[in-house]
Structure 1
Amino acid sequence: MKHLKLLPITIAVGTVLGSAPILAATDAEVEALKARIDQLEKKVDIDYTYEQKSIELPPDIEVPRGVIFSGYARYGSAYKSSDERMVNAYGALNGNATGRLGNENYGGEFQLGKILKSDKGAVWDLVLMVDNYQDRSWAEDGGLNVKKMYAGATNLFESQPTLYFWGGRDFHQRTATNLNDYFWVTHDGQGGGFKNLDVGVGQFNLSFVGQVDDDMVGDNGKYAITSKWHDIPLGAANLNFYFNYGFASDRVLDDEDTADSRGVKSYQIAGELSLNGQRLVVRYADNAKDSAFDLVDDQQAFLVSVDGFYQLTPKSSVEYVAAYQSIDVSDDQDRANYNINIRPTYSWDDINSTWVELGYSLVDYDTIDATNKAWKVTLSQNVSFGPLANARPMIRFYTTIGNSDNEFAGYGDDGVTVQTTDLDTVTVGAMFEAWW
């Protein structure tokens, strides 16, 4: 991608070098030309890449020329030779609780961004993203959907140079753990607000967002006021707090799928402590779980999660997550989910690596005498852009084996009979994953 962005510069420089006057240039002029080329390259190759979270411009960013293309994608094919292609315990609460490696659907998010700078120094960006996923939890029709279209601005006030205002549709307050691909706070939607207000100790974000109505243009009548007090120094550690409040308008009555949300209020409180690559998350939600948009009456959820990364040797590392979450609901499906995922990796050289991911998930029902269990092992041989575990693009050839043993998997046609399942997984696949 960098080479494509630099193509106009290369042509321009080649034209100059090919002209007759350059043959008579002095050493000083040649050095000046080289310095100019370096300057132009820096203006194109800046650190403005895709993140699951919102992009917030630093006030001193060097404004690139042209449009920035970034994104995330994973596409491939997987052959199953047993009951199920993927491994999941019924009723799991902690995302992809048996682990994501070799155990997820395909799709991608493709983003275009344009950065502008005014004569007075204010820096603006315009961002458009579309996505394409095979998983119906992401996209109802598997086609292209507009996930972002917003404008943002920073460096507006001399006293608050990092203060960033935004308005539009965005991946809002999207915070996750990697190995189980769990977004434990997420409020994707459209609205506006500000981020990175310097409050002396850390920074503060505040926004108003509405939940998008099934990838349409408007919202569905569910709203949230979101806030985050972040980057609070605590010795060598870093501390973030979240407080989010959800509510609905009368518009929810127009949709039978959301009508039960009328009059329901929700809130989330969460703390996130990070130290030397390790993180502790604690979150409580009332009438909600992962999002204040949930608006489920008489529901409480409590989460404790630890995750991190260790570089064991220059060639080996291990990443992990362990989580507990309980949920109390108005019916008889109160339960707790325990999960642990461990991913050791080894780099044979700068491009070849081997990963093994081990995952275990247990769902323990409270009022139903049932326990659901799932385990998974994935072996992945990789060819990647570099030797580090997060180097992308990456091509994977993998095999996943696992089992889910569910003592409770829903009610039968009579509304009483407990359905049980015992499903094996043996899958062989090839895919790529990249973010840029």
Structure 2
Amino acid sequence: MKHKCRPLYLALCVAMASSSAFAVDFNGYVRAGTGIAGSGGGLQRGDEFHKNLLGRLGNEFDTYAEIGLGQELFNQDEHSMYLDTMFSMESDGNMEKENTSQSGSGEAEFGIKKAVLKIKGYIPDAPDATIWAGKRFYQRQDVHIIDTKFLNISGYGAGVEGLNAGPGTVSLAVVRGDDDIDDAVSSDDLNIYYLDARYSNLKPWDGAWAEVAMAYAVVNPTDDQDDVDSLDFDNGFMFTAQLSQSFSRGYNKTALQYGTKGLAQNMISQGGGWYDVWSGDVNSAKGYRLINTGDFKVTDNLLIDHVITYGYAQDHGDYVDDENLLSIVMRPTYSWSNYNKTILELGYFKDKKSWTSGSETKTGGEKITLAHAFTVGKEFLSRPELRFYVSYFKDEEGTYFKNGSKDNDIFYGAQFEAWW
């Protein structure tokens, strides 16, 4: 029998075979499943219908895995160094095998998500502060049921976090987050550095916590790119303020964001920090976003999770006047026991873009998903979980389904999701 050891498996083999394997921290996330459409055909990555606006339950059909390996490499005299890595694999669901390949080929893609060294004890007056350098997810803020990171300044960089300052802690970072541009314009990505500052761990009153974040995007074109008129981008700014409150039957979080220049499009794209290099002239762009999310335990067995997003942006592209986005997703869950749940997820969104010509472009949709899950607890984020689902989708402004011939469809499937 022949065995083919792929890159991700090889990394695990090396880590677990090391002499200090028992000291390795092992964590990760995996989802996979299968589904069919009522109009015919199987479902795979790319068949999702506005997942980040209508909700992810019964609306994601890829295979995705993240495997994290971490280890403390040094600890002496209250000085420590910790290596944190993460490998990923994503696929559209090849029926026979998942080969390694370049992106877009339809086969599996392997990558390095994180490779960062974190050190503590090297600042005499701040022994608990962490200095870091490398590639990492940097203090991302997400809403799980729509799979959206509304604050996501991640990439290669360096910084310090956890500096005590008054009632909270300060974190400072410089993160490189280049963006792809049209090959016809330039063969190189546009280099962008983010200057990021956070003031977090604030507790304004009992049961509440708050955070303020500011990101300044510095555009750094090459000399050749600087000579291209269409690559004239100004530095952008994004501000985020969050306030969360826990109470006896759940919690609620409200986030308010403001973005300018190339960061304004995040307010209506469900992005978390990407700089817009695709829409043309964005140097006059500005926008804001309001997010409210949380869960409420109606009874010991009935829990309702929700997220409401309203976003607005203007002048965020050639010939664009402004754009409005409203997205609402509700997920009531009834737990029959610690091991069985019935889940209903309802999603609705509408988007209207106005052009300087006076015309409008509208998109909108609805989703209803009913699922039964075998799980490990009543809590909303209890995992692992195996689900069987049926989803109904309606395209309010077009004919997305069955190769562009129908405005609605029904999907059936099964999926598992796990993290550890």
Counterpart-to-counterpart distance in 1, 2:133 and 2:34 = 38
Please name the residue that 1:244 is paired with: 215
Asked if the contact 1:175–1:183 (Cα under 8 Å) also holds between the matched residues in 2, the reply is yes
1:351 aligned onto 2:339: yes
Q: 1:88 to 1:192 in 2, by over 3 A?
A: same
**Structure 2 counterparts to residues 91-170 of structure 1, below 5 A:** 96-106=52-62, 107-134=64-91, 140=104, 142-157=108-123, 159-170=125-136
1:282 aligned onto 2:256: yes
Asked if the contact 1:399–1:428 (Cα under 8 Å) also holds between the matched residues in 2, the reply is yes
1:69 aligned onto 2:55: no
Counterpart-to-counterpart distance in 2, 1:228 and 1:252 = 32
1:378 aligned onto 2:369: yes
Q: 1:401 to 1:255 in 2, by over 3 A?
A: farther
Please name the residue that 1:10 is paired with: none
Q: TM-score, normalised by structure 2?
A: 0.76
1:325 aligned onto 2:311: yes
Asked if the contact 2:242–2:255 (Cα under 8 Å) also holds between the matched residues in 1, the reply is yes
Asked if the contact 1:385–1:391 (Cα under 8 Å) also holds between the matched residues in 2, the reply is yes
Q: 1:254 to 1:110 in 2, by over 3 A?
A: farther
Identity %: 24
Counterpart residue type for residue 363 of structure 1: D
Counterpart-to-counterpart distance in 2, 1:246 and 1:204 = 19
Structure 2 gap segments, 5+ residues each? 1-19, 93-101, 181-187, 267-271
Please name the residue that 2:386 is paired with: 395
Counterpart-to-counterpart distance in 1, 2:383 and 2:377 = 7
Q: TM-score, normalised by structure 1?
A: 0.74
Counterpart residue type for residue 407 of structure 2: L
SS in 2 for 1:97: helix
1:291 aligned onto 2:256: no
1:184 pairs, out of 137, 150, 155, with 150
Q: 1:255 to 1:357 in 2, by over 3 A?
A: farther
Counterpart-to-counterpart distance in 2, 1:122 and 1:390 = 35
1:405 aligned onto 2:393: no
Structure 1 gap segments, 5+ residues each? 1-62, 90-94, 410-419
Asked if the contact 1:310–1:317 (Cα under 8 Å) also holds between the matched residues in 2, the reply is yes
Counterpart-to-counterpart distance in 1, 2:118 and 2:55 = 35
SS in 1 for 2:379: coil
Q: 1:254 to 1:421 in 2, by over 3 A?
A: farther
Specify which structure has the bigger relative contact order, considering alpha-carbon pairs within 8 angstroms and separated by 6 or more residues.
Answer: 1
Asked if the contact 2:371–2:390 (Cα under 8 Å) also holds between the matched residues in 1, the reply is yes
The C-alpha deviation readout for 1:121-143, integer Å capped at 9, x for no partner, is 223210111112247xx965541
Please name the residue that 2:413 is paired with: 429
SS in 2 for 1:179: helix
Please name the residue that 1:225 is paired with: 195
**Structure 2 counterparts to residues 13-24 of structure 1, below 5 A:** none
The C-alpha deviation readout for 1:378-397, integer Å capped at 9, x for no partner, is 11111112232211111111
Asked if the contact 1:302–1:325 (Cα under 8 Å) also holds between the matched residues in 2, the reply is yes
State the Cα distance separating 1:317 from its structure 2 match.
0.7
Q: Pairwise CA RMSD of aligned residues?
A: 3.0
Asked if the contact 2:255–2:290 (Cα under 8 Å) also holds between the matched residues in 1, the reply is yes
State the Cα distance separating 1:365 from its structure 2 match.
2.4
SS in 2 for 1:194: strand
